[in-house]
Amino acid sequence: MSSAALFGYCGAVLVGLGLYGLITRAEVLRKILSFNVLGSGVFLLFGVFARRGAAAGLGADPVPQALVITGIVVAFSATALAVALLVRLNKETGQIIVTPDDSEESGEQGATR
């Protein structure tokens, strides 16, 4: 097994872990964390393909590396927006989860802006 393949399996497990956390954790902050783990697993897969593409004296294919850098920055801004939304949601409703059905909410936080 080459080291690229090893980290490829690692990335596959991380994708599964992140997806599991995203689905099963009820709190939004934990969902955002799991999304970050999932994203890093996908980037790791990109990295595996970069490492396998080593040629012409370069240690790894530079194109996937650039894509991963862009992806990391975009994922961070997604996290920032999601977190700001969550803090606002918490300020308005006192909740840290999103419920599928509005009618289940307790009525105390019903004030609109």
**Residues from 76 through 105 that contact other proteins (CB under 8 A):** 76-90, 92-98, 102
The nearest distance, CB 71 to other proteins, in angstroms, is 6
Min CB(103)–other proteins separation in Å: 12
Residue/partner pairs of 88-93 with CB below 8 Å, 24 or more apart: 89/28
User: 32 CB contacts (<8 Å, ≥6 apart)?
Assistant: 79, 82, 83, 86
Contact pick of 103, 104, 107, 111 for other proteins (by CB under 8 A): 111
107 sits near other proteins (criterion: CB under 8 A): no
* Closest C-alpha to 83, from 39, 41, 27: 27
Residues 22-41 that bind other proteins (CB under 8 A): 22-40
CA distances from 82 to 17, 28, 46, 76, 77 (A): 20, 9, 24, 10, 8
Q: How far is the CB of 101 from other proteins (least distance, A)?
A: 11
Q: How far is the CB of 107 from other proteins (least distance, A)?
A: 12
Distance of alpha carbon 68 from alpha carbon 50, whole angstroms: 10
- Window 49-78: residues binding other proteins (CB under 8 A): 49-78
